[in-house]
Structure 1
Amino acid sequence: MAALEEEFTLSTAVLGAGPEGFLGVEQSDKADQFLVTDSGRTVVLYKVSDQKPLGSWSVKQGQSITCPAVCNFQTGEYIMVHDNKVLRIWNNEDVNLDKVFKATLSAEVHRIHSVQRTEPLVLFRRGAARGLEALLAEPQQNIEAVIPEEEVIRWSEVFMLFKQPVLIFITENHENYFAYVQLCKSHTLSKYTLLLGKEEKSVKPNFTARVDGKFISLMSLSSDGCMYETLIPIYSSDTEKNQRLVRALMLKAVVSGSARNGVALTVLDQDHVAVLGPPLPASKEYLSIWNIKFQTLQTSKELPQGTSGQLWYHGEILFMLHGKCLTVIPYKCEVSCLASALGKLKHTQESGTHSMPHFVNWETCSGYERGSYSADQSRTLRRKKTEATLQPEVPGFKQLLSIIKKDSEKHIEVELRKFLAKSTPDFDTLIGDIVAGLLGRCKAESSFYPRSCLMQLIQTHVLSCSLCPGLMEIALEHTDVQMLQLCLQQFPDIPESTTCACLKLFLSDTIQDEKKETEEQTEIVQNGFSPEDSSCSTDSRQLNKQAGDATKETIAFPVTSCPVTPKRAALLNAVLHSAYSEPFLLPHLKDIPGKHITLFLQYLYFLYLKCSGNAAMTLPGKSPPTVSQIMDWICLLLDANFTVVLMIPEAKRLLLNLYNFVKSQISIYSELNKIEVSFRELQKLNQEKSSRGLYSIEVLELF
């Protein structure tokens, strides 16, 4: 899901938006500060959280800014171009732009691109590009012409790929569009012709793009109101040949086909795009967020004052000209997956942890065919056809796959470490191929189980269950509970059948194993666990000491100690945090034996008492489960196994306690509902009153 939060307006006293809006809104080296360049003479630095300008700089009367100001992230300085060729560099302490560094260039500049981890890149109007440092060393150097005179650059962007800047820009020549891709370090340039249907030609070009594996996914809005996608190879085997690329339909009718102004789009993440424009003919303009994976409209906001057709995004903030004011709209986009669409997805994430891993790109998987989406099928065919001519992204990848097929586990582990050390985090499909190679050999050779290699790959935080199908099944066969715990903590798309299989395994550990762990606390690693494992903290071991004889499968209530050992508690907590959908989970819960269900219910009830009793949480695992998760799982277990649990004598006292627990929850929510209704009524009364500038204090007493 996605949501647009409450909008607010930045001060526009020093800004002058022209008929086509502003030149640009760019991020500074501070997360909350942005450079806004108007269409005339002024650049303003805003602090968004304070909604006020921190600095303002203007060129002299008669001069005009022709390139949006950007920040050099390596130095913290600001850069812009006025009168097409004059480059200025300044910082926060400078007051007068006429007195800052100045360099007159030999060719006209289209714009300057600045991204993190590299120097700014200057793109000239004839298609040549130069790094800022090389340009400042010789400002009057000869700038070659890359594109013909009749071609005009309509859109450009820079991406970082494997620590290398990749520049893409789109040109137009009499309604014919071309895409140029330049690898800045290797200085290779590829040209592509974008083939558009007669009914698809854009009245006003609107482009946005993202990196999608070995391709740049270029998205555009056309005059028919639909969104199209073109896959542009980043690496080409023939840089001289003008290759032709056909675009495919991505979304239908996202804006009105009759719209001519106020239309724009920008990609927010791998699954969401923001669209500016009227959804229906003669309707008012809207800002909308679409999910391109499930092709659904997520949220929209009406813009009654109209827009200029410009849309910028930085972080989780959208900028646009609403009426004559620069408007800021914060937004939120959740992870796009079936778990969030159909069921429950874990929303909480600890600070300092890695982001959600990517989902598999189904079009790149061999043997997978879709039967319903022609656009996806054509995209798959285009991708496979183009991939044959691409250069390898990461050196040593094919050699590693060859080593996996025949060498020893120790040699594979050494080579894998070398491969991971020289690769970047943006290689999830390669990691998926490596895991597939390891799992394929595991199935072919029963004695082959490269546990250390698989753990390394899981800890890259780029895998998901759909990207490495079969991994958790292999871990279940080897009862590798530590690997299963790690998968449960990191994979957001685990099938409910696999989740229940893990739960069944965690609950079926023998009592003798638990007693041995509790009494001896040896250093021997058993099923991937040792007493020093990070999942069982010092607090967890203290909990184990408090448990007494807590290893028994049944206990007397009320619960005063944990009914399971810290190791098993950490594993069960991982299950509680995993994503699931109730209709798919319930049938599998019925296959778990009754005594294990009873034990799990006892543990859940113990967690509820700990959470609701304001006691210090000393539960194992990275994060303790929430009350909501505990209640949901209690309901699931009782829905699936109530008759079975009812027939177990040891569970009668447990059911009675759960009954009292449910009654207390109903009572609490009933009182909370009354308080909510009271607050709503008070809010209505306050809205009806007119303050008229008076100051008053009201004391409300709730009984």
Structure 2
Amino acid sequence: MATFLAEFSLCGLVPGPGGDTGGVLGVEQGGNDTDLLLLTDRGRTVTLYKVSDQKPLGSWTVKQGQTITCPAVFNFATGEYVTVHDNKVLRIWKEDDVNLEKVFKATLSADVCRIHSLPKTEPLVLFNGGATRFLDALLAAPQQEIPDIISPGEVIRWSQVLVDGKQTVLIFIAERDGDWFVYVQNLNLNSLLKYNIHQESEACVPLTFAATLQHKFITVISLFSSGHVYEIGVPFHRPETEGQHFLPKSPLIKLPLPSNTALVILDKTHVAILGSLHSEQSASKEGLFIWNTKFQTLQASKELPQGTSGQLWCYGGKLYVPHGKVLTVTPYQCGPSSLAASLGKLKDIQQSESEEVPSVLNWNTFLGGESEPPLTVKNETKKNRSAKKNVDKVERQDVSIGKLLFNVKNAYPSHVEEELTCFLSSHTTPDYHVMTGKVATALVARCKAQPHFYPRGVLIQLVQSNQLSYSSCPDLIALLLEKEDMHLVQLCLQQFPDVPEAVTCSCLKAVLCIGDAALEKVAVDLESVICYIDVDSEQTDKPADIVQNGFSPALLEEDSCDGQLIQKLCPPEPILTCPVGMKRAALLNAVLITKYSETFLLPHLKDLSAQQVMLLLQYLHYLYLKCSEIVGTTLPGVNAPNMNQIIDWMSLLLDAHFTVVVMLPEAKGLLANLHKFVRSQVKLYSELNKIEGSLLELQKMKRQKEDRGLYSIEILEFV
């Protein structure tokens, strides 16, 4: 049975002149690895992507005023990329080339329609007039005359190169005034055949095509505007009679969709179709569907609410669809085609086959007597019985998981909590963490669909089970921020190891923006702040003789020796007060201890307002002073930030908002204190470096092993 796997967005699409993306000019395989994708937009840019990493490996752009008119392809023989701009200008470059103006350029004598390139085949150039040339032959004489093969007025609408063993065939379809023609060119024999496609009416026209070549037989599958999918057999030999030859069509599927736009062949019995999803209760929405052509059944469907440009590609077990303003990648799986699988009954058949049938009937059961355990075959070993028990156990667990997910989506809230509590208390399920992610995803989806449904206790149990991560349920934190459930947000930040930097900044903004009245109603874990922030906000004066992390809190601007420094200490500083309440401080600590990359975090920090930046800087400065009061670099308590994290966040905030902070009058005192803080840190590490150098010199000194008697005095002098 065919199924869709988890989709993801590969890249954003470049907007066109009208503001919309306008679709994509072409998507091709970008190398010998099927994980490489070559994307050509409707403009000037070609980009190479690593699909699994969701990142570009290279990008090339033609100069202003030029337009790419042919999708770029990869030459599998030479490892180069080929494209055409302004219809006739051919460009060839390698991955390490940067500027397309400095790569190979050839101006052709005719307009190019498409370039086709497949593994183990030489790239083939198809011109608008129907003529073809291999790339090497064309490069040998770029200005050679290119004759027109198709009749005047015909326009090529679709083309594809098919390979079966050593047989290479080019098939393209042209249209003229509503009439459709099929051209088949055998590149090995250099022969050209032409056929007509029979149409029932002028209103029913073909929309898209896909073709296969197997055992010297060409099959074209066409999607018509009426919703019918037809199979068209194309003869591979020249007709015996002259004149027009119409190709017969055999219907495969009648789709219950009002409009259809694209089709690709997945395997012998499955096709993927991009069309509109019609519902009587709501307006039509576009969707992606997998149909079984052998049994004419719908196998999988996926709604695309943001709309598409009607384009669909398939490479390496993945479907590529421009969805809204991004290019979406949807992996798929197609199982063996059988009637049981197409009807969704394959699992039940497997279970019935795995059930153990006794070889000797218990007649007491039929006669109404006492039931006895059924007799089994004598030669059945313990190993077989154990294996059957394990199979039955796994099947029962699968059924229970399916029932649980069904109840999560449909049952009453009280029943859902009971079911999930039983599930979380049982750790015998295979792939427990995967099942937990599915349950959390189903819960979040129902919470969004039903605003009054919010099982907070169950969500807390799921987060605290240590089986969830951000990637297993990406929409959970967004839901919690919408509900302003800051306690659960705090737990997610503490438990999830893979929170993206954008989500971390969203949580930070929510913590800084939430009002004090709303925060008082929230139950927050205070373990990270209870040890260094007093509940009554009353703090005793600090002793004047405390040395903070090896240095005084108020160092003099001029350098001096230790004796002079101790004598010139400033009077005790005023009592430290936390700029935020305990609950907000605990939530800020949860943000500060999350893992991040400076490169990805810095752009999102720029979205903070000046007041939010000032409040966070004041709290970080308070944490630094509290951390300096103890001998160590970590604040007391659980999940409290350490000195390195405090300093890193200070640096990132100042880098992101340096100009704003400098211009704020209320920031002058804070900047002065931070300046003293930096100078004290430099002074401290300078002294530590001196001590380290002295210790290294001591370690290198070689002492003579000699008897110095019972008593001796040795003087070590450092120069």
TM-score (norm 1): 0.53
Aligned with 1:117 (options 117, 120, 128): 120
**Distance of 1:340 and 1:217 partners within structure 2:** 25
- AA partner of residue 257 (structure 2): V
**Residue 238 (structure 1) shift:** 4.5
1:253–1:279 Cα contact (<8 Å) kept: no
Tell me the residue number matched to 1:268. 266
- AA partner of residue 635 (structure 1): E
Q: CA RMSD in A?
A: 3.6
Cα distance, 1:341–1:220 mapped onto 2, change above 3 Å: closer
**Distance of 1:210 and 1:667 partners within structure 2:** 44
1:110–1:125 Cα contact (<8 Å) kept: yes
- AA partner of residue 10 (structure 2): L
Helix, strand or coil at the partner of 2:126: strand
**Distance of 2:122 and 2:227 partners within structure 1:** 37
**Distance of 1:159 and 1:664 partners within structure 2:** 47
**Distance of 1:671 and 1:267 partners within structure 2:** 35
1:217–1:229 Cα contact (<8 Å) kept: yes
**Any idea what the Cα deviations from partners look like across 1:141-162, whole Å, max 9, x if unmatched?**
1111101230000000000023
Helix, strand or coil at the partner of 1:695: helix
Tell me the residue number matched to 2:628. none
Kindly indicate whether residue 51 of structure 2 is the aligned counterpart of residue 48 of structure 1: yes
**Distance of 1:162 and 1:657 partners within structure 2:** 47
Aligned with 1:695 (options 493, 498, 507): 493
Tell me the residue number matched to 1:230. 232
Kindly indicate whether residue 278 of structure 2 is the aligned counterpart of residue 280 of structure 1: yes
- AA partner of residue 324 (structure 2): G
**Any idea what the Cα deviations from partners look like across 1:284-317, whole Å, max 9, x if unmatched?**
1110000001111001000000000000000200
- AA partner of residue 171 (structure 1): A
Tell me the residue number matched to 2:631. none
Cα distance, 1:142–1:195 mapped onto 2, change above 3 Å: same
**Distance of 1:34 and 1:243 partners within structure 2:** 39
Cα distance, 1:239–1:58 mapped onto 2, change above 3 Å: farther
Tell me the residue number matched to 1:137. 140
Cα distance, 1:641–1:268 mapped onto 2, change above 3 Å: farther
**Distance of 1:139 and 1:634 partners within structure 2:** 67
**Residue 634 (structure 1) shift:** 6.4
**Residue 650 (structure 1) shift:** 9.3
Kindly indicate whether residue 387 of structure 2 is the aligned counterpart of residue 635 of structure 1: no
**Distance of 1:139 and 1:62 partners within structure 2:** 23
Cα distance, 1:652–1:74 mapped onto 2, change above 3 Å: closer
Helix, strand or coil at the partner of 2:321: strand
Tell me the residue number matched to 1:221. 223
Cα distance, 1:11–1:639 mapped onto 2, change above 3 Å: same
2:15–2:21 Cα contact (<8 Å) kept: no
**Distance of 2:84 and 2:183 partners within structure 1:** 23
Tell me the residue number matched to 2:3. 3
Helix, strand or coil at the partner of 2:237: coil
Kindly indicate whether residue 78 of structure 2 is the aligned counterpart of residue 79 of structure 1: no
Helix, strand or coil at the partner of 2:24: coil
**Any idea what the Cα deviations from partners look like across 1:116-168, whole Å, max 9, x if unmatched?**
11101100000001111111111111111101230000000000023121000
- AA partner of residue 82 (structure 2): I
**Any idea what the Cα deviations from partners look like across 1:221-273, whole Å, max 9, x if unmatched?**
222122122111123344965421132221112521xx3xx711111111111
1:259-658 aligned at under 5 Å gives the runs 259=259, 263-280=261-278, 282-338=283-339, 340-341=341-342, 635-636=355-356, 638-639=357-358, 642=361, 651=377
1:200–1:222 Cα contact (<8 Å) kept: no
**Residue 697 (structure 1) shift:** 3.8
Aligned with 2:106 (options 86, 90, 103): 103
Moved more, 678-687 or 328-337: 678-687
**Distance of 2:394 and 2:183 partners within structure 1:** 63
- AA partner of residue 294 (structure 2): K
Aligned with 1:195 (options 174, 198, 201): 198
- AA partner of residue 326 (structure 1): L
2:358–2:376 Cα contact (<8 Å) kept: no
**Distance of 1:649 and 1:280 partners within structure 2:** 56
2:354–2:388 Cα contact (<8 Å) kept: no
Q: How many aligned positions are there?
A: 411
**Residue 649 (structure 1) shift:** 9.1
Helix, strand or coil at the partner of 2:23: coil
Cα distance, 1:696–1:167 mapped onto 2, change above 3 Å: same
Helix, strand or coil at the partner of 1:270: coil
Helix, strand or coil at the partner of 1:98: helix
Cα distance, 1:158–1:665 mapped onto 2, change above 3 Å: closer
- AA partner of residue 211 (structure 1): L
2:21–2:325 Cα contact (<8 Å) kept: no
**Residue 54 (structure 1) shift:** 0.6
Helix, strand or coil at the partner of 1:147: coil
**Distance of 1:664 and 1:215 partners within structure 2:** 47
Helix, strand or coil at the partner of 1:11: strand
Larger radius of gyration: 2
**Distance of 1:208 and 1:311 partners within structure 2:** 11
After the TM superposition, list the runs of 4 or more consecutive aligned residues in structure 1 that deviate by more than 6 angstroms.
Answer: 342-345, 631-634, 646-650, 655-673
**Residue 666 (structure 1) shift:** 7.3
Helix, strand or coil at the partner of 2:48: strand
**Distance of 1:289 and 1:4 partners within structure 2:** 9
Tell me the residue number matched to 1:419. none
**Residue 329 (structure 1) shift:** 0.7
**Any idea what the Cα deviations from partners look like across 1:601-636, whole Å, max 9, x if unmatched?**
xxxxxxxxxxxxxxxxxxxxxxxxxxxx9x976634
2:318–2:332 Cα contact (<8 Å) kept: yes
1:226–1:254 Cα contact (<8 Å) kept: no
**Distance of 2:89 and 2:60 partners within structure 1:** 15
Helix, strand or coil at the partner of 2:310: strand
**Distance of 1:300 and 1:341 partners within structure 2:** 14
Tell me the residue number matched to 2:641. none
- AA partner of residue 229 (structure 2): M
Helix, strand or coil at the partner of 1:696: helix
Tell me the residue number matched to 1:366. none
Helix, strand or coil at the partner of 1:140: coil
**Distance of 1:662 and 1:640 partners within structure 2:** 16
**Distance of 1:12 and 1:161 partners within structure 2:** 36
Cα distance, 1:13–1:640 mapped onto 2, change above 3 Å: same
In structure 1, stretches of 5+ residues that fail to align are 346-579, 583-628
**Distance of 1:667 and 1:264 partners within structure 2:** 44
**Residue 641 (structure 1) shift:** 5.4
Cα distance, 1:291–1:138 mapped onto 2, change above 3 Å: same
Aligned with 1:32 (options 28, 31, 35): 35
Helix, strand or coil at the partner of 1:68: strand
**Residue 171 (structure 1) shift:** 0.3
Cα distance, 1:200–1:647 mapped onto 2, change above 3 Å: same
2:2–2:332 Cα contact (<8 Å) kept: yes
2:359–2:377 Cα contact (<8 Å) kept: no
**Distance of 2:81 and 2:387 partners within structure 1:** 61
**Any idea what the Cα deviations from partners look like across 1:398-449, whole Å, max 9, x if unmatched?**
xxxxxxxxxxxxxxxxxxxxxxxxxxxxxxxxxxxxxxxxxxxxxxxxxxxx
**Distance of 1:172 and 1:698 partners within structure 2:** 57
